[in-house]
Amino acid sequence: MFLDNIKSPGDVKTLHTEDLKILARELREEIISVCSKNGGHLASSLGVVELTIALLKSFDIENSDKIIWDVGHQSYSYKILTCRKDNFATIRKLGGISGFPSISESKYDVFGTGHAGTSISAALGISVAQDFLKKDGSGRVIAVIGDASISNGIALEGLNHAGALKKDIVVILNDNEMSISKNVGAISNYLNKIMSGDFYQSFRKDAEKLLKSIPLFGNQVARFASKFEESLKNLMVPGIIFEELGFTYIGPIDGHNITHLLNTFENIKKIKKPILLHVITQKGKGYEPSEKNPSLFHGISAFDKNTGLTLKKTGNVFYGEIASNFLINLAKKDNKIIAVTAAMTDGTGLSKFSKAFPERFFDVGIAEGHAATFAAGAAISGLRPFVFIYSTFLQRSLDQIIHDICLQNLPVIFCIDRAGIAGEDGATHQGLFDISFLNYIPNLTFMSPKDEYELMQMIKSALSYDKPVAIRYPKIEVPYFELPGTDEAAMINEGEFEVLQNYDENIVISIGAPHTGLIKNILYEINKNTPDENRKVGLINARFISPISHKLINKIKKAKKIMTVEENVEYSGFGSKLLTVLSQNVRALNIEYKILSLKNGYIEHGSRKELLANAGFSEEGLRDSINLFFNNVNNEKIKIGYSSF
């Protein structure tokens, strides 16, 4: 096996072209085998195997050149070939290697990625820094970006700036859409060999110089020739838009033909200006189940590699599916309801809605900011948009939420999936910050349900508030159940909390699932075995992060001990906000106060269960924290009062 002999990227350079084809097959076998056990982004990584090999064969990433993988879910081959083969079986596992490029993991991961569209801007910044600092041995900076990611606003901004600065970065557009596959073939490969070759580039410069030297009419003739060249190229290949942005466009070429890739890269290395190479690949290449269903295998859980069937427990549904399916019932009665997502149709559970109401479903692509403002425009014109989005990607929409939605008090409803711990995708995908960056925004009603039934109540109630609403819920699944009718779901008044254990001196105030339900069970046992009424512990399901009602403050202001529980970072989370509101509403207050949260920091990859246990959110961890705090064992008192704020 050639793969066993690859100890560093330089070893790829020693292989002949036919050997590289065998290496590609071995890489696919390794990736399929590991992903069948660990899950992961299989289809994307299978699609760029030959491209990865050709890059490492042609460029010198050990000494000078740098490769940035946009998003990074296509980087598995790269990880294996850059000294991580022996650890590849640990990918996405607790303590193992990350499923995304990480600068703390390897020197070959020159820029950490996980969200779409960042590679071109980062590559340009690195290129500028290399020139500015005049670093010895600085080489080419290469950004590999997918066809979906290049539509992202920051990617277009990066292209625009790179073309203006005329830095010699290389952008490789990895296109796995079939609509332009007709351009892949002998004619296209021949044209691009010519366009990237020395003769064509030299002739192009000499011809332009000659035409401009013609007295009186030279510049006009040169411009005409340039337009003719653009028209000719436009007949053969797409890409004039990239030429207009200042890039030399080459492509599309077959991204699975190693010979063509190597020839093109050798030519590209001689061109010192911004280049965009357009390659066509097949998502899931080399594994039939993934080729047939690339969307399913984009981010897959463990599966049987022989059949391609997932090993997910049958009969369970995720909260996102519950939210989406309940919205279908609401939409049947209200034709103004629309659903919006940003390339997360399957992940957010909207697949059924998209089929039930295709004319009322909008997938805007990887453009989260646009999704928010698009929804604002729809809302101001009388529609009732629901935006389904992951917590980690909602971060990209903050300005639009504040400026376009909440400032104008428009009834856009955000259904925020994967809030809190998201799991194996790691630090770039954990939903740790949405409470922090949303809870201070005026006009926004912000909720988090204790269970799946309350989630449906909140979705129904959000429509009645007629204002901006956000509902956050975690990535958890529950046994399948028959959805209640829309009339059966009770309404929740804005700001209304729920008392689950009614004791006033010691109170846990919890926000969100599933820990609120766990705490309810824990306190039932604790209180049953506590004869002293004054030492029993109450439980409030806060429901609302914003607004925090005066009724809640009046309920808890005489307590002696308060613990808040939330799946968010500690500073600026729900507990911090409640503490601030308490201080502003009570003049003389002595309370022992504890915030139980995910602390402050980034959380790496692992299963949701493992990561929650590490953060103290297992049933055992919650019980220990409650006993420690309310029994006052080695507990630091936190005194708060009006004068301290």
Q: Is 81 exposed, middle or buried (CB count within 10 Å of its CB: 0-12, 13-18, 19+)?
A: buried
Give CA separation, 204 vs 67, 103, 197, 207, 487, in Å. Answer: 29, 40, 11, 5, 71
Whole-angstrom Cα distance, residue 610 to residue 602?
Answer: 15
> Which sign does the torsion angle of CA 362, 365, 367, 370 carry?
negative
Q: Is 215 exposed, middle or buried (CB count within 10 Å of its CB: 0-12, 13-18, 19+)?
A: exposed
User: What residues contact residue 189 under an 8 Å CB cut-off, 6+ apart?
Assistant: 253, 254, 257, 260
Phi and psi dihedrals of 399, rounded to 5? -60, -40
Q: How many CB atoms lie within 10 A of CB 191?
A: 19
Whole-angstrom Cα distance, residue 329 to residue 205?
Answer: 64
Give CA separation, 214 vs 6, 218, 272, 401, in Å. Answer: 57, 4, 27, 56
Looking at residue 451, what DSSP letter applies?
S
E strands, 365-520, where?
384-390, 413-417, 445-447, 469-472, 477-479, 498-501, 506-510
The two beta strands, 170-175 and 275-280, are parallel
Q: At what angle do helices 218-236 and 198-212 cross, to 10 degrees?
A: 150
Whole-angstrom Cα distance, residue 304 to residue 310?
Answer: 6
- Is 396 a known active-site residue? yes
User: What residues contact residue 554 under an 8 Å CB cut-off, 6+ apart?
Assistant: none
Place of tokens 């990480």: 102
Which candidate, 450, 446, 366, 324, places its Cα nearest to that of 119? 366
**Does residue 385 have a cis bond before it (omega within 30 degrees)?**
no
- What is the Cα gyration radius of the chain? 28
CB 253 within 8 A of CB 278: yes
Phi and psi dihedrals of 425, rounded to 5? -75, -15
The one catalytic residue among 79, 396, 475, 536: 396
The two beta strands, 141-146 and 275-280, are unpaired
The one catalytic residue among 50, 321, 368, 592: 368
- Is 368 a known active-site residue? yes
The two beta strands, 275-280 and 538-541, are unpaired
The one catalytic residue among 84, 92, 283, 594: 283
The two beta strands, 275-280 and 506-510, are unpaired
User: What residues contact residue 477 under an 8 Å CB cut-off, 6+ apart?
Assistant: 313, 316, 317, 318, 319
Give the DSSP per-residue string, 49-61: HHHHHHHHHHS-T
Which candidate, 263, 197, 199, places its Cα nearest to that of 54? 263
CB 22 within 8 A of CB 30: no
Phi and psi dihedrals of 299, rounded to 5? -135, 100
Whole-angstrom Cα distance, residue 282 to residue 147?
Answer: 12
The two beta strands, 498-501 and 275-280, are unpaired
Residues with catalytic annotation?
283, 368, 396
